[in-house]
Structure 1
């Protein structure tokens, strides 16, 4: 079944990305993705927007943002128009860590997809993911 092969490919790629980011930059994959989404959004997102962008629930994104804040990679800010709204804002250190980690992420993604091609069941999916 194609879905099962997709799940297998996803798990392999995620595992390789996680190892590379943790080993090289002290970042988990979710942390990297959060920094990436914040940077792409101009530096800040409401907590719910960040949760939606990452496919996380509110509780999970709160814990994730707490880890990023503890590391000095993000900070929280209240919405000036709606004091109940809370933003997660990437810091200068967060941008620097993201910039350092991006090449590792890209190399590891390419390597993970290349390794997956060794499995003939996954080759068609890798081709599809690569856009070839």
Structure 2
């Protein structure tokens, strides 16, 4: 290794920090827009997305937590908020009495589908904005070329 080469670890760390910064920037924009336009938070949107795409519109609570990256207790509170809004409800598993499912309602499907285009448009717009920022440009380029 020559003096002018940056060690891989430093390069990896710099790229990871750029990815984390990009992630935070994109998440803030998505969360703000979804809340303002559709009255749902980002976690609620993602839960509705998982439930909308799930067989029979239902998912075990632990699986839902795993899909959206929340703890079991956080997803329980999240589904409670969705239930209060009329977008989902809890149901017991017929095969396993200990199992609890989150089930999307018709109103939840409608809310998710109404918000889906906003999410996609805002994601693209935010990544376009980030690609013009020196701090995020390489990360956006890497993500888009991997897709």
TM-score normalised by the chain length of structure 2: 0.87
> After the TM superposition, which residues 14-53 of structure 1 pair with which residues of structure 2 at under 5 Å, given as runs?
14-42=27-55, 43-53=57-67
2:6 paired residue number: none
1:12 paired residue number: 25
Structure 1 runs (4+) deviating above 3 angstroms are none
1:3 paired residue number: 16
Once the two structures are TM-superposed, the CA of residue 130 in structure 1 deviates from its matched residue by 2.1
Q: How many residues align?
A: 132
2:10 paired residue number: none
2:104 paired residue number: 90
Where in structure 1 are there 5+ consecutive unaligned residues? none
Once the two structures are TM-superposed, the CA of residue 84 in structure 1 deviates from its matched residue by 1.2
113-122 vs 97-106, which deviates more? 113-122
1:113 paired residue number: 127
Which structure has the greater CA radius of gyration?
2
The 2-side partners of 1:130 and 1:105 are apart by: 17
Give a deviation string over 1:28-55, Cα, whole Å, max 9, x none.
0000000001111121100000011111
Give a deviation string over 1:72-94, Cα, whole Å, max 9, x none.
00011111111111000000000
The 1-side partners of 2:145 and 2:105 are apart by: 34
Are positions 1:61 and 2:81 aligned together? no
TM-score normalised by the chain length of structure 1: 0.96
Q: CA RMSD in A?
A: 1.0
Once the two structures are TM-superposed, the CA of residue 102 in structure 1 deviates from its matched residue by 0.3
